[in-house]
Structure 1
């Protein structure tokens, strides 16, 4: 048997090798194509990217032609460098630097020498192209933005770097791809498929025809169009309201999870990252470490949620059976929870039940509710775990799975958090009381705030928030059509909703913020704000927060507004919320008093405090100087008006 096995194995192996060699050399020409690479020029045809539309069919992002000058370093011979540089408005030093960079990449392969020429630049260079051996024009497609807002939603287009090219064989040096926003998340759908054409060259590097009569050529396939979930007018309005402010606005349609608006402030004009100035403009935006215009606060900024979190504290206490909607706690304008520790409260005091606790934001009520929830269990650590599990059923403390490439988890502490922090101590609900009112270790992003508001609007369920409504020829991912149900029974949402509706009544924390004809359910919030200024931890102006949904029945919009350093909830975030709801539901504004104040209002003076001391001094000196000039001009104007008035009186007397 052994004598037969070895020869058989040798024969079988040799046969397989011969069959493979025959296939590669006679049947399959693809490897022959690679072996003849030096005699073949590869031309790529780049398709148009898919267009972007808003939920109502408004075109947001289209395309415009762009032209890159490509170079093959080895073929660059005897060119007039002075004429070349003058034609493209570059220096000789820049020319040498770009050629060297291309040569390092590959002397034989094409590299981008100068990208994103416009039509006029292209026409001027194309006319003289024959004089510059080794250079050619590669036509591409750049984004043509139809609007000057929603930059954080779209993202931008940039060149594929070396790391991308090495990782993904589809991309070659100079190829464009999406970065951030929808452009990055849906890159493969939007980019389409580039076409390839193989051209045979002779020994003098002259093109002599198509290789193998075009057998291996492919045609470009255009990218698919995408309809976004955002309402363009609402997005634009939100960005206008946030001018001279920092923060985020996220609006969601509760019954679908579709994102209606995703505002971050400050932002930038998306068209600034198109064309030859793109790199310069991007560097400017990137280096702004104070305002952070490239930082999407709606998805990335983690804040203490403040008083809106009391809604969740109440729901969990109801579910755990430690309170009912008729349970009352006596409030003495604050809550004493330890020796010398007193948490102030702005409600009117007395015996407070759930309904009034919500609309007057009673710290005492929700502090007691939280303590009872945690202390219900002998093992306090387990009690915190129960509380955390309920919160996580709302999508908190984790990435929510939305279709955007960036985000943060926020933070929901567990029993393990405090076992570690208070090792060797006997701790309970009072020890970690700040969690009850959305301070402490609890952190949430604006999109999480908006989603939990959508969950309240739905009375206990939500759909994963998403930014894409429809893809040409496709249906949206199943995960965006899957209902997520919380661990809170539906019956407990009704008293919470009633209390949120009363927030807008007289005596509520948002009394006077309502809009005629719209039943809004909301909750004000104020979050403490600390930061390092000139190396010291400083208490800065509180953040202004507001969450709401409307109408009360059959809600169509849920929203979270976060304004950094905005004092208290009803001062900035509250009016912005009302205006956004009116804009979406009624397409017109009746609260023109709010609109005027929000559009013209500024919090720059608060943000200046975050600047280094030298910059602060410079700003304050300039501001004082301008104020002095203004006072002088006002004085001169008053004197002139007084003279005119005296002259009029004199004329009347005569």
Structure 2
């Protein structure tokens, strides 16, 4: 009897323990843990994210360049897909079976309960085909969104493109506000100004029943937030000038950069070969991108920012300005055209001053100018003299924005190279090089490398007599101005009087009798051009042609640099091309008698190489 009584207590204890466990668990769920309430709310609440309109992009004359157009994505919630007739589904969308299977696998990997895009950028016929049959495919839905479209066929490198966010982006804290399936700027202005263009998302909460049917706003919209559209970008680009430059550079490799000197605003930036911006939009964009990437002409390569070349004779004006500021030469200093020092490409009279030397692009003259700046009679140790002198010379040259990024408002900009003493120490050995090792820098050759943007900025600096604003594309964001860094004036540390000393020589290059850039003259339409030609040695083939200038010389409104690969002498090809761009910008039209230049310059570069 006592044994049975003991068993009864044991059973009672078990039941009591179970009851206490359930009671404690219920207390925790109902009072302490809010996750079940949150899950219940999620069954009755639907959170709808409103993606704002992306800001538009205009040119300097308020011509619309980039806009938003509605597109449609086919979304899928993997858990809700039941007995999918895959064959019929693929036929409706005209998609390969394997592609659909891979997309479904990726959607399941992302989430089985959340919607993710299965097919993006549906065309109108595809949308019509699937929408009428969507009832037969549970788990699939159509989502409308806005996508980028272009009102221009030009300036693809500068505008950039928008693409779907990748897992690598999502891991970056900078993109913490984005979600899978979102789109963002990948390159160009779209990327640099992503924060301004994207706007701010809005959220709406809607009550739904167990079948997902909407029953109205939650608490009369108390917790809803409105989306805020992105800010528009007003660029400094003259799209008609850009179009004209791209036409002239057709069939050639190279770049054109045109800047308004007084503001640093970029008027045109041409990279050739190029592509149309619409190529990187819509369905099949990935395949088209890979085709561009594998194209041997490298159309994705942004030459004005990424291609670095020796500047050739254009650099002689920088070399002269540095020497004038250092006081080692004067505007009247004369040097012999001594071919024993370096070969001169032009036979001419004795250079009696800097103006004649610039006009005739005398190599021995500028060899001796740089030698005076670097050596300065420091000591009897020619190795140490060259080492110390080059370091000082380099600092003054880099003040012109060379050897480092200027900071333009799109990515991919390269620094270029102004070689240092350490550079030559590493290559040749300490105290194993002297001025004869580096003299080619004096004429813009050797290890020196600059971009097309830097070359145009040099001309803007000379036009301003010693200062520049960082070149930029965007002159206004929304109703405001440019970003603060583009309103800071940079001085190069050379007195204005020295610029006045070299500008007459640059005018003589174009407008003087026998000048190397006479093909750029616009005196017949009343425009004085100051410029400098360049022919860049190329060990892999024909020389490259360069020409850099500003106009009108007395009140500059445009600074320009033209670089054409394998086109020979700068005065024969790059100079006339620059003159057409200048005339187009300043007059809005081209004089009829210069129509022959247009036709000739549109031929491949090899056809207008002129040899001695």
Structure 1 residues 459 and 100, CA gap change in structure 2 (3 angstroms):
same
Q: 1:411: which partner in 2?
A: 417
**Cα offset for 1:438?**
0.7
Match of 2:147 among 119, 122, 142: 142
Alignment length, in residue pairs? 567
What stretches of structure 2 of length at least 5 have no aligned partner?
A: 1-29, 380-384
Q: Deviations over 1:431-466 (max 9, x none)?
A: 210100111121100000000110000010101111
Q: Are the counterparts in 2 of residues 245 and 602 from structure 1 also a CA contact under 8 Å?
A: yes
CA distance in 2: counterparts of 1:205 and 1:546, whole angstroms? 67
| Cα 1:237–1:33 shift into 2, 3 Å | farther
Structure 1 residues 277-292: aligned runs within 5 Å: 277-288=284-295, 290-292=296-298
Say whether the 8 Å CA contact 1:258–1:465 is kept in structure 2: yes
- Distance verdict in 2 for CA 1:241–1:350, change over 3 Å: same
Task: Note the alpha carbon deviations across 1:221-272, whole angstroms, 9 max, x for none.
Answer: 2111111011111100000000000111110000000000011001111112
2:604 is matched with 602
Deviations 1:508-554 (A, max 9, x none): 10124312211000100011123xxxxxxxx3111110100000011
* Offset, 1:385: 1.3
Give me the whole-angstrom Cα distance separating, in 2, the residues matched to 1:34 and 1:322: 80
SS at structure 1 position matched to 2:537: strand
Q: Name the CA distance, whole Å, in 1 between partners of 2:461 and 2:563.
A: 19
Show the counterpart of 1:573.
574
Q: Does 1:244 align with 2:245?
A: no
- Which residue of 2 is the match for residue 627 of structure 1? none
* 1:613 aligned residue: none
What's the TM-score, normalizing by structure 2? Answer: 0.88
Cα distance, 1:356–1:182 mapped onto 2, change above 3 Å = same
TM-score of the pair, normalised by structure 1: 0.82
Take 1:571 and 1:229, find their aligned partners in 2: how far apart are those partners?
A: 30
Q: Which residue of 1 aligns with 2:531?
A: 522
Q: Tell which deviates more after alignment, 164-173 or 228-237.
A: 164-173
- 2:344–2:362 CA contact under 8 A, matched in 1: no
Partner Cα distance (2:196, 2:608) in 1: 43
Displacement of 1:210: 4.3
Aligned with 1:66 (options 64, 67, 71): 71
- Residue 543 of structure 2 corresponds to 542
The answer to whether the 8 Å contact 1:372/1:429 transfers is no
Q: Deviations over 1:536-577 (max 9, x none)?
A: xxx311111010000001100000001111111012211110
Conserved 8 A contact 2:534-2:547: yes
- Summarize the Cα distance change of 1:101–1:604 in structure 2 as closer, same or farther, 3 Å threshold: farther
Q: Is the 8 A contact 1:565 1:606 kept in 2?
A: no
- Distance, in Å, in 1 between the alignment partners of 2:136 and 2:363 is 79
TM-superposition CA deviations, 1:296-321 (whole Å, max 9, x none): 10111111111000001111111111
Q: How far 1:149 sits from its partner (Å)? A: 0.7
Structure 1 window deviating more from structure 2 (73-82 vs 97-106): it is 73-82
> Quick one: structure 1 residues 33 and 122, their matched pair in 2 at CA, closer, same or farther if it must change by over 3 Å?
farther
Q: Aligned partners of 1:277, 1:470: CA distance in 2, in Å?
A: 33
User: How many angstroms does 1:347 deviate by?
Assistant: 3.7
Distance 1:283 1:511 in 2: 43
Q: How far has the Cα of 1:201 moved from its partner? A: 4.8
Superposed CA RMSD? 2.4
Q: Distance in 2 between matches of 1:110 and 1:402?
A: 39
Cα 1:497–1:275 change in 2 (3 A) is same
Give the C-alpha shift of residue 606 in structure 1: 11
Cα deviation, residue 137, structure 1: 1.6
Q: Distance in 1 between matches of 2:43 and 2:411?
A: 40
SS at match of 2:336: strand
* Structure 1 residue matching 2:292: 3-state secondary structure: helix
Cα gap change, 1:34 to 1:463, in 2 (>3 Å): farther
Name the structure 2 match of 1:229.
Answer: 236
Tell me the residue number matched to 2:178: 171
User: Which residue of the partner structure matches residue 112 of structure 2?
Assistant: 107
* Contact 1:70–1:114 (8 Å) recurs in 2: yes
